[in-house]
Amino acid sequence: MSEQIPLWVAGSAVHGDAPLEVHSPYDGSLVGVTSYASKDQIEEAVAAAAAVASEAARLPIHARAEALVQISEAIRARSDELAELITAENGKPLMWSRAEVGRAVSVFRWAAEQARTWSGEVMRLDTDKAAEGRLAYVRRVPKGPVLAISPFNFPLNLVAHKLAPAIAVGAPVVLKPAPKTPLSGLLLGELIAATDLPNGMVSVINVPNEDASSLVADPRLPVVSFTGSGPVGFAIQQQVPAKHVVLELGGNAAVVVCADYSSADDLDWASTRIANFSNYQGGQSCIGVQRVYADKAVFEPLRDLIVSKVAALKTGDPRLEDTFVGPMINEDAAKRVEEWVNEAVAAGASVLTGGTRSGSAYAPTVLVDVAHDAKVTREEVFGPVLILEPVDSADAGFAAVNDSKFGLQAGVFTHSLQTAFRAHRELEVGGVIVGDAPSYRADQMPYGGVKESGVGREGVKYAMADFSYERVMVLTGLDL
């Protein structure tokens, strides 16, 4: 690709001064060349967002919804191109890239539907004699322009989860995509620029991570929505305590397999879901399965099935239709995973399959007998590594899930309704997935975590609430 891919500043295609080359994590080939925004271009994007904020907030519901539908349909129309672009810049296999594009189509469609119901509420206040003749109308209004900072692992859909809700509530947004994978977000910027939204409504600019603090601090962007690592997210929160900061951070998602989940069909399903979703996206998902706590009654057959299914996963060139596990985002990421696994093995863990690295690819790996203080247990591996451990009961499994500084999602395989409700009550996570891996996410449901997994919620309706606040009008002297 010889033509430089533009940034989008207030609806216009521009080029910065410093080139940004994007290379394939799989083979290092050049995927595309874009640029970093200049200081003047950053200022233009922020100033445009601030200048259009009042107009954006007043946009009729139909205008927001029609633009969101147009974006959804434009993504669908270019779905093959977008999927290939995600695979090229991110390294995830084509099957997962296609799924990501399909989810982005749905996110913008959901946002259009939610925008059409964004009507506020009316309440009579004459529940007390002193309030006779009074009526309240409550509407939600944008908190102001949003700074959206997205990660590399879902370069289209996690961008969609920030831009679509912002447009739906009438909030301008400045997107800073991950420098490793900016091209999907830039193409989305092109699609948004083709709508009738005001020019300052959406800007997509590349900014080096080390230079982002001034953008975070800009008072004209009162909302910051960040998805990424915990240390960076909490640093943002500390830097701008007066802003509304939404953080979707890491996890080390756990699964509990209960004793009642014991039939051949049960174990086949559980092992398939665990094997697949500990390795999809190359393990680079904050709700990818990392820890499995299985009741001793089912541990051995489950272990054997998981190991055989993980070992059978097709790895290699992400551009091939049947590749299930591709490379990690770069060789440094794979080396870090390699170091963590080697540390665990040196402390007594055993590798049942995998445990090897080739360049940026780390083989799907299953470990047992892992120390509870090992990094692969305590931290977020963010790679294709799975830990298996037998437990005496659901009590022990739930305690192990909660013995973590993270709390994003957990999976519980059980047929017991009582156990399911107990898990929902006791597990310290943002979401409990019963009968499946914790990696399940529907884009309309609330998604986020507790503890060091973040603050606030994604999911279209819930992000819209995060980006807005209630404003009450009380009418007086009415004959109700």
Q: Which of 44, 100, 248, 380 is catalytic?
A: 248
State pLDDT tens for residues 148-198.
999 999 999 999 999 999 999 999 999 999 999 999 999 999 999 999 999
The question of whether 89 is a catalytic residue gets the answer no
> What residue ranges define each of the domains in the chain, with the CATH number in brackets?
7-249+453-472 (3.40.605.10), 254-443 (3.40.309.10)
Q: Active site residue: 286, 331, 380, 458, which one?
A: 286
Residue 1 has pLDDT above 70, yes or no: no
Provide the pLDDT for residue 3: 87
Single-letter residue type at 285: S
Active-site annotation holds for 286: yes
Burial class (CB in 10 A: 0-12, 13-18, 19+), 262: middle
- Decide: 168 and 464 in contact? Cβ < 8 Å: yes
> Residue 320 pLDDT more than 60?
yes
Buried b (16+ CB within 10 A) or exposed e, 8-38: bbbbeebebeeebebbbbbeeeebbebbbbb
Phi (first) and psi of residue 453, to 5 degrees: -90, -5
Mean pLDDT of all residues belonging to the chain: 97
Helices (H), 183-241: 183-193, 213-217, 230-239
Amino acid identity for residue 117 in this structure? T
Mention every residue, 6+ apart, whose C-beta is less than 8 A from residue 131. Answer: 125
- Structural tokens at position 250: 């890491």
Summarize pLDDT for 252-273 with one digit per residue, the tens. Answer: 999 999 999 999 999 999 999 9
Q: Cβ(293)–Cβ(254) under 8 Å? A: yes
Which residue(s) pair with 7 in the sheet? Answer: 14
Share of the chain above pLDDT 90, in %: 99
Give 376-416 pLDDT, tens digit per residue: 999 999 999 999 999 999 999 999 999 999 999 999 999 99
Whole-structure pTM value:
0.96
